[in-house]
Amino acid sequence: MVLKSDGTLWAAGHNGHGELGTGENDNRNEFVQVLSGVSEIAGGYAYSFALKSDGTLWAAGWNEYGQLGTGDNNDRNVWTPIYGQ
């Protein structure tokens, strides 16, 4: 993940659990823009979080143990709002 100064979030690499948030689980060998309006990012093993400038928290990726905080154990391969929506 790369967060540019203009607030756009770009992703590349392993995507087996959808952690890049591109809408599929294909690995990426080139960066692709996945979000905009982002102020901070964080990640773990096969999951990613993005805090947008409007205060909403978004997540993508592996969720076997509920680590995304979505209330279930389903992986997300698209960015999903989990707080502030």
Annotated domain spans of the chain: 2-83
Angstrom distance (rounded) from CA 72 to CA 6: 33
- In DSSP terms, which residues pair with 81 in a beta bridge? 58
φ/ψ of 32, rounded to 5, equals -135, 140
Q: pLDDT class for 84, splitting at 50, 70, 90? A: confident
pTM of the full predicted structure? 0.93
The neighbour count for residue 20, using CB atoms within 10 Å, is 28
Residue 21 clears pLDDT 90, i.e. is over it: yes
Mean pLDDT value across residues 41-50: 96
Angstrom distance (rounded) from CA 52 to CA 81: 10
